[in-house]
A and B are shown apart, each in its own frame.
Chain A
Amino acid sequence: MRSRTAAMLAGTVLLLPVAGCGGGSGAADDGTVTVGAILSMSGIYSTLGAPQQKALRMGVENLNKQGFVVDGRKRTLEIEYADDKSDAATTGVTQLRELTQAKKLPVVAYGLGSDTYVPQLKRNPVPMLNLIDSVHPSILRLSPQFWRVRGDSPTYVPGCLHYAKRELGTKSISIITAKGEAYGEGLTQLVTQSARAEGIDVAASTQFPVGATDYSNAIRGAVAAEPDAVYLSSVTAVILPVLKQLRQSGYTGPVIHSAGINPNQAKDILGGQFNSIMKDNHDCAGTLPTTSENPAAKAFADAYQARYNEYPQDLTMWAHDFPFIVAAAMTKAGTVDDPAKIQKALGEITVPQGTVSGWIPGPGDALFTERMARTASEVTTWCDARQTLASAMTFDVRDGAVVDPKIKKDPCS
């Protein structure tokens, strides 16, 4: 008898770690559901990952005030954060494997590196919601598991040229592109198309290799064509140094881009001269929570600024809404741990209560249309007197054309 008890105890002890290794389906007995988020919290893209994490935390807290119901049971959400160290191809892929294979988390939010995650998603499909990447051509073509919680570049680039022609009187434009940087190259394609559609002449299109530190030649080629405005095609960290050198070269005309530069970044990267460098700068991208007319977005912006003492980028409101979207999909699917059912439910949910981004519903009031949820787009302009951004035009884009543009006269007043 004693030996049988000892054998059972030994067996239990041996099985415990095995059960531990195989466990972690994302749902705990206390009703807490865990999902994953792979963000660039350190490294060169930490300017994106860190604010995303802050906004996700706020979203989780707001969601959990009420909780959500799945299959008749009240649940709360928590997010397990993983840092890809701005290196999706190595660290990010390892983190995805850890989250989805070892810990069996049913949904993952992420920032950059879509193409590197595709092989792992083929082995172990889970829905992955992208919080930032609006590159053209779309990341959605890479895998059916990808969803995007923001509009892609074609939903805002046409607005740049529409605004430039009507408000800046632009008849010709030069484009400077970071060669080898996917977002910038996609933007240049779209700007060229939209310029043609608006009857704006592309006076010059110059490039510099991504990673370059001196842009003299690309700048000189662009400015020599004497354009009415210059468009800079790339992300914030790349174009701000280009903008600095463009102004250092003596160019004082309008500069347009789609980088989502906020005043904090302008101060950090441009330094003491940031206000004069940012003068006559116009940025077209998603609506900002600070300039939005949506009361929920504004309230979120105030709360974010009060809590973190930093200017909230557009990506923060999308990140805030991620927990609500996941909760709505789980409620619809009736499961917290079946990725296939949650994937299907994502395509069926409407705009969830409690979100702040001002989502534009698609056909049938669905949040996602062809796996993309989107908000209105906006042109912001730099107000040097106030040293901040102001909304100059809000708009939507359908079939490549600007729809319902609302231009604000004297936006800096």
Chain B
Amino acid sequence: MTQVLVDGIFLGCLFAVVAVGLTLVYGVMEVPNFAHAGIIVLAAYTTWSVSQAGAPFVLAALAGIACGGAVSVLTEVLAYRWIIERPAAAPAVALGLLLILQNVALRLYGGAGRSLDTPYDTVLLRFGGVTLPGVKAALIVLAVASLGALHLLLTRTSLGRAMRAVAQDREAAGMLGIPMRRQYMLAFLIAGLLGGVAAIAYAPTFQISPYMADEVLLSAFVVVVLGGLGSVWGAVTGGLLLGIVQGFGAAYVSSAYQSAFGLLVLVLILVLRPDGLRSTNARRVA
């Protein structure tokens, strides 16, 4: 039981980190950013490349996170910025960007899987009959640290307050003199950095490939809808809920239908609370 809960929390933390990046962008710009999966892929490959070049893991990880942020900002500057007034085009542009980013990875690194080695690969934590591999423990720590930092940024800084203002009412924020483009760019930067964190935390448990983040992205979108579109803390709550439900469903019903339990919860939440766990009215990006 405790082991299932711990495994569920691990999955939940992964979903939450990816989903918060998605919901942040949606909250500010109303873009379903499918390209986020491509950003995770490029961040993972960058970490792997730098690591292969002989750099210490910490340096490689920082390079990967920076790459995530840079590529994410590029997608905003080169693509999303130009369709801000045409939201109907956003899903198509997002899918196109995803294909471009994945194919860039495919072209540069090929389709074969790669492993990201970490200093804690062989660590196995044991407490009270529960085991937790070092790579999974690291993901939980990184998720808590990065989401905590984001919380401080959004609530304690003027940058964060401006971003929340844009998310709540773009026109009003513009009239108050908040530079909109800078806020869009900032949202994409933070989302990309979180994508980088997800990449370096999650790749060591799995493998790096151009399609490594597809399934996680799907779950993250379920989380975003569960939590309420645009709600950061809704995404965190939704992520943990989805991870734990998937864990218990797999353990006590069937592991073959692990993903299906999440979709079942989504349907239930949408029936009971159509706006998601946390309503986003006047509360986006908070």
Contacts and interface: CB of A to CB of B under 8 A. Distances in A.
Nearest to B258: A209
A122 interface: no
A217 B247 contact: yes
Interface stretch (A123-131, A138-146, A262-270, A367-375): A262-270
Contacts of A248: 121, 124, 133-136, 205
Interface stretch (A21-29, A38-46, A110-118, A386-394): A38-46
A273 B122 contact: yes
Interface string B238-256: 0000000001001100111
A273 B205 CA distance: 13
A407 interface: no
How many B residues touch the partner, as a band? Answer: 35 or more
Nearest to B116: A271
B259 A207 contact: no
B131 A250 contact: yes
Given A46-B112, A268-B114, A271-B117, A207 B206 contact: no
Interface in A261-312: 265, 268-274, 276
Contacts of B7: 214, 216-217, 220
Interface in A146-195: 179
Given A213-B206, A217-B251, A45 B256 contact: no
B124 A207 contact: no
Interface residues of A, number: 38
A345 B131 CA distance: 60
Contacts of B256: 179, 207-209
A221 B131 CA distance: 14
Contacts of A240: 113, 207
Contacts of B173: none
Interface hub of A221, A244, A276 (most chain B Cβ within 10 A) = A244
B102 to A, nearest CB: 10
Contacts, number: 115
B111 interface: yes
Contacts of A271: 114-117, 121
Interface in A43-79: 43-47
A179 B113 CA distance: 20
Nearest to B210: A44
A249 B136 CA distance: 10
Interface stretch (B24-32, B71-79, B140-148, B212-220): B212-220
A47 B124 contact: no
Contacts of B257: 179, 209
Contacts of B121: 248, 271-273
Interface hub of A207, A212, A216, A269 (most chain B Cβ within 10 A) = A216
A134 B135 CA distance: 35
Given A42-B111, A45-B111, A241-B206, A212 B254 contact: no
A346 interface: no
B233 interface: no
Given A208-B256, A217-B255, A268 B113 contact: yes
Contacts of A209: 256-259
Contact of A211 (B4, B106, B210, B215): B215
6 contacts: A42-B110, A208-B255, A214-B206, A216-B10, A244-B205, A248-B205
Interface of A: 42-47, 86, 179, 206-209, 211-214, 216-218, 220-221, 237, 240-241, 244-245, 248-250, 265, 268-274, 276
Given A209-B258, A214-B10, A237-B209, 16 more contacts: A46-B110, A207-B256, A208-B258, A212-B259, A216-B10, A218-B255, A240-B113, A248-B133, A248-B134, A249-B133, A265-B112, A268-B112, A269-B112, A269-B113, A271-B117, A272-B117
